Amino acid sequence: MIPHYFDWAATSPMSDRSLDIYVETAKTYRGNPSSLHKDGKDAARFLQQERQKTARLLGASPRQIVYTGGATESNAIVCNSLLWRRSPGRIIISAIEHDSILQYRHLFESKGFDVVFVPAPGGYVTPGDIAEKLTENTNMVCVMLVNNVLGTVQDIKGIAHAIRTFQATTGRPIHFHCDAVQGIGKMTVDVSQLDIDSASFSAHKFQGPRGTGILYQRGETLQPLSRGGGQELGLRAGTEPIAAIAAMNAALEDTLSNLEDRIAHANHLRRVFEQELAPFDTIALVSPSSDGSGGIVPNICTIAAEGIPSEVFTRILFDIGFCVSSGSACSNNTPKKGETLLAACQVSPAKASSAIRVSFGHDTTEDEIKLLAQTIGKESQSMGRLTRRR
């Protein structure tokens, strides 16, 4: 039996078109875009067309698009760039960022930066919370667009406004970085409307290939992470994986061309999921409810069956035929990471230790989500009876 897949926020299956484009491009363009012969020039021309496409789809200009090996690398280029500052200042990071940002804390501190974490009660960082922490020596603010565990959407425009207002009083620029990985295909993302300095994207979150991503950057103040051939505006040296880039663009194009339908479908599935779970008092919603006032993406929903450890419940569900995630799959190698993130959102330790993330995609069906909800409800009841009997 093939398990029902409810772990799209960890990674999504490559779409058929993305796979086809990968193969077609790899076969058609054998040259290295840096080579001077015809095959190289053809590849360079193709790459330029793809860059224009990416830029158009994200609301950027081609010079602002840097292809990377994924969002971890995009985040790393931005964070590493800060380390070159002669006089380290303050770095403000939301406490619910992905580990690829949070783990820079010690490096920043070892270089003399003052790292300040902003908590996110209920999963939200507010412009006011950020404004309170801004100082004249602030170098960077990092707030993600959509949290990968709770699905909460952050007020990036509001935060940018707070930063720019403060910046105007000091005349010193503050780099605003946004990890936008979980937003693509779930909401409109137009970088030109966000007033951010950089943003990270990852192809495998929207049915493109793994190991491919985008760094949007404006202002060109960043430093290279890798050095060599000077590719990607000199920020990411290394031969460009044009087949993967074309496959990513195909996936991006498909996702965005059906965006409204996809959002409507996801909203419907989310409501069904919550309705089906409602009769089970053994299950609590950890993510904000879909009828609440805070912004959420519908396709990520974390729930908790208190008293049943996440890892145990995840395993039980897998044995029955469902792939879900205990907290965030991206952090499963870091013990308790999911729990730390949820603590920053003021989720109780009991709920955090039993949190399960359900995330779905555009081809998930209503029957599948009903079956998952029923199974979660019934299993939590029988597990609850067992633990009470001990």
* Position 288 contacts ligand PLP (CB under 6 A): no
Provide the sign of the torsion angle of the four alpha carbons 183, 361, 336, 103, taken in this order. negative
Active site residue 330: yes
Tell me the HSE value of 217 on the side-chain side, using a 13 A CA sphere. 23
Please list the residues that pair with 182 across neighbouring strands.
none
Phi, psi (deg, nearest 5) at residue 319: -65, -30
Contact between 39 and 185 under an 8 Å Cβ cutoff? The reply is no
Please identify which residue in the block is written with the tokens 């208190």.
Answer: 306
Structure tokens at 150: 């709770």
Across 65-98, b (16+ Cβ under 10 Å) vs e yields bbbbbbbbbbbbbbbbbbeeeeebbbbbbbbbbb
Catalytically annotated residue among 79, 323, 330, 345: 330
Chain position carrying tokens 């995330």? 359
Q: How far is the CB of 295 from ligand PLP (least distance, A)?
A: 16
**How many residues make contact with ligand PLP (CB under 6 A)?**
13
Contact segment (CB under 6 A) with ligand PLP among 39-47, 70-78, 276-284, 373-381 equals 70-78
Binding status of residue 330 toward ligand PLP by CB under 6 A: yes
State which residue, 55 or 297, has the beta carbon closest to ligand PLP: 297
Considering only the stretches 67-75, 130-138, 282-290, 332-340, report the one whose residues sit in contact with ligand PLP under the rule CB under 6 A: 67-75
The closest residue (CB) to ligand PLP is 70
Minimum CB separation of residue 71 from ligand PLP in Å reads 3
Site string for ligand PLP, 164-203 (x = CB under 6 A): ---------------x-xx-------------------x-
Q: Which residue has the tokens 């044995």?
A: 319
Query: Minimum distance between the CB of residue 215 and ligand PLP, rounded to whole angstroms?
Result: 11
CB contact set of 270 (below 8 Å; sequence gap of 6+): 290, 298, 299, 301
With contacts defined by CB under 6 A, name the span among 22-30, 43-51, 69-77, 248-256 that binds ligand PLP: 69-77
Contacts with ligand PLP in 85-124 (CB under 6 A)?
98, 100
Give the separation between CA 219 and CA 64, rounded to whole angstroms.
8
Q: Among 14, 47, 55, 71, which residue interacts with ligand PLP (rule: CB under 6 A)?
A: 71
- Nearest residue (CB) to ligand PLP, 150 versus 284: 150
Q: Catalytic residue positions?
A: 330
Interacting residue ranges for ligand PLP, rule: CB under 6 A: 70-72, 98, 100, 144, 148, 179, 181-182, 202, 213, 330
